[in-house]
Amino acid sequence: MGRDHFGNLGRKWTGVLALTLASCLMASPSVAQSDPRAQMRIDFDKAVKGKTVAWVPITMGTPIDQIWTEVMRSHFDKLGVNFILRDPDFDSNAQLQAVTSLINEKPDVLIVQNINVTLLARELKRAMDNGIYVIQVNMMSNQPSDAYVGVDNVDSGRLIAQDIVAECGGGKSSGKVAIVQGEATSAGSLDQLRGAMEVFNADKSITVVSTQAANWDANKANEITATVLRQHPDLCATYGHWGIMQQGAAQAVKAAGLQGKVKVYASSDGPRSDCDLVEEGLFYKILSYRADVGGAQIVDAVLTLLQSGEKPGTKRLTLLSSNFWVTGPQHRHYCYDLSPTQ
């Protein structure tokens, strides 16, 4: 054991010590530029985990709202987001009360599906003024907000109308078309009607004989269509603003013995029953915007807004859903199935 030995040992241990210190420093967050992947997760969790997201649909009783909620919940649970749900059960008064009281609870993000275009306009502005991000889904109000996720309803109207004109116009048939609206003051109906009438008004061979509103109720759609068919037995096509509602109309066409002669169109969110009806021949064609994909888009919007660092109400994001025609069994994958518990 001479000084040399100690020296060598000392150098060795110093080296080990230095290496250990260095690796400790590397692992600590403050020097994290060296591990961006870990930092990504840390930053993400800081922005998203533990945040509160509040969701107010029109009702929890329909497949479209159920699939959105299912998809949202499955993602938010895994990401550690606190997910609150209020169910107005198709009552506009209840939806307004729910949104108003939620704003007072100050969630981080508020997601709404507007029952009509004016009801929540004032409240949504108040939410954004109070530092809450607002996402509008599927049907907008007159108040623009941080994000809109959903289909372009005007475009859906145009697409379906164009197909109807191709099938019914130019003297191929009587040219008579009936439109079955949902809730007339909702964005879903106002915008689809606008897009469709744009196309129909431009074609002289098409006459729109009815634009009755069935208020999203399949039984009412059934009644209305039965009446229209009695008035116009030579109807060429009927276009419904929502697949589930239009199922009632399709059955009325069948009951009148006109299945196959009257073409039944619908804008659909893609529930399995709508695809089934296409395959059974009750629907002629539906345009599906795939609400299951839409659910994931809503989650994306939430994550984007939470990480954006922007003040609510300053920027606007639009995540448009795409439309897909469903004409037969080859398009089954454009429809979704709910979990067995639904």
Partner 1 sequence: MMQAKEQITAPLSSMSRQDPLCADAGGAGENEQGAGKLAGVSGALFGRMNGIDAAVPFLLMCILFGLFALAVPNYLSVGNLQQLMRDFAEPSMVALAMGIVIFGGGIDLSVGATFAIANYVALYLFKIEALPLGVAVMGVLAAGAVIGALNGVLIAYVKTRPFLTTLAMLLVLRAGHDLVTLAHTVELANAWRETDTWNFLGAGFVWGIPTNMAALIVLALALHVVLTRMRFGLHIMATGADRKAARHAGIDTRRVTLSIYILSGMLASLAGLFYAARQSSAGSDTGLGWEVTALAAVVLGGVSLAGGRGSVGRVLMGSAILFLLMSGLLRMNMPGGASSALTGFTLLVAVAAHIQWSRWRDRQRAIGARKSSSATLPADIADEREQP
Partner 2 sequence: MGRNFGQERVVMCFALLLAAVFTIAVPGFASWDNAMALLRSIAVIGVLGLGMAVVIIGGGIDLSQIVVALVSAGGAALMVNAGFDVSVALLTGLLVALLLGAANGIFVACFGIPSLFATLASALLFMGLARSTVMPSTIINLPPGGGSFLFLGANWSGIPVPVIVFAGCALAVHLFLARTVPGRFIYALGDNPSAAWLAGLPVRWLTVMTFVFAAAIGYLGGLVMVASTAMVDLGTAKSTMVFDVILVAVAGGVSLAGGRGSVASVLAGTMFVGVLLNGMALLDVNSQVQTIIKGSLLLTAIVFDSRLRSQDEEAEQQGV
Nearest to 249 by CA among 261, 262, 268: 262
Query: Is residue 66 close enough to count as binding partner 2 by CB under 8 A?
Result: yes
Give CA torsion, residues 278, 282, 288, 291, to 10 deg.
-100
Which region, judged by CB under 8 A, interacts with partner 2, from 58-66, 78-86, 93-101, 287-295? 58-66
- Decide which of partner 1, partner 2, none touches 94; Cβ closer than 5 to 8 Å per partner kind: partner 1
Q: Which of 52, 62, 82, 92 binds partner 1 (CB under 8 A)?
A: 92
Query: Is residue 87 close enough to count as binding partner 1 by CB under 8 A?
Result: yes
Give CA torsion, residues 333, 244, 93, 136, to 10 deg.
30
Q: Which of 48, 55, 59, 266 binds partner 2 (CB under 8 A)?
A: 59
Query: Is residue 244 close enough to count as binding partner 1 by CB under 8 A?
Result: no
| DSSP code, position 32 | G
Query: Is residue 127 close enough to count as binding partner 2 by CB under 8 A?
Result: no
Task: Enumerate the β-bridge partners of residue 287.
Answer: 267, 325
CB of 113 to partner 1, least distance (A): 14
d(CA 113, CA 183): 13
Intra-chain end-to-end CA distance of the chain, in Å? 79
Binding residues for partner 1 restricted to 106-145, rule: CB under 8 A: 115-119, 121-122, 142
Binding mask 267-306 for partner 2 (x = CB under 8 A): ------x--x--xx--------------------------
Query: Is residue 55 close enough to count as binding partner 2 by CB under 8 A?
Result: no
Contacts of 87-91 spanning 24+ positions with Cβ under 8 A: 87/57, 87/59, 87/60, 88/56, 88/57, 88/58, 88/59, 88/115, 89/59, 89/60, 89/61, 90/58, 90/59, 90/61, 90/115, 90/216
**Is residue 143 classed as helix, strand or coil in its secondary structure?**
coil
Nearest to 116 by CA among 214, 181, 188, 60: 188
Query: Is residue 259 close enough to count as binding partner 2 by CB under 8 A?
Result: no
Query: Is residue 82 close enough to count as binding partner 1 by CB under 8 A?
Result: no
| DSSP code, position 82 | E
CA distances from 77 to 46, 49, 52, 82 (A): 16, 10, 11, 7
CB of 158 to partner 1, least distance (A): 17
Q: Which of 145, 173, 181, 222 binds partner 2 (CB under 8 A)?
A: 222
Of the pair 247, 288, the CB lying nearest partner 2 is at 247
Q: Which of 47, 96, 293, 319 binds partner 1 (CB under 8 A)?
A: 96
Strands in 49-158 per DSSP E: 52-56, 82-85, 109-112, 133-137, 147-150
Which region, judged by CB under 8 A, interacts with partner 2, from 29-37, 125-133, 184-192, 250-258? 250-258
Q: Which of 73, 86, 232, 331 binds partner 1 (CB under 8 A)?
A: 86
Tokens standing for 284?
């002629």
Tokens standing for 4?
């040399």
Query: Is residue 100 close enough to count as binding partner 1 by CB under 8 A?
Result: yes
Region of 22 (left: φ > 0; alpha: ψ -120 to 50; beta: rest) is: alpha
Q: List contacts with partner 2 (CB under 8 A).
A: 59-63, 66, 90, 212, 215-220, 222-224, 226-227, 230-231, 244, 247-248, 251, 255-256, 273, 276, 279-280, 342
Q: List contacts with partner 1 (CB under 8 A).
A: 59-61, 84-94, 96-98, 100-101, 104-105, 115-119, 121-122, 142, 183-186, 189-190, 211, 213, 215
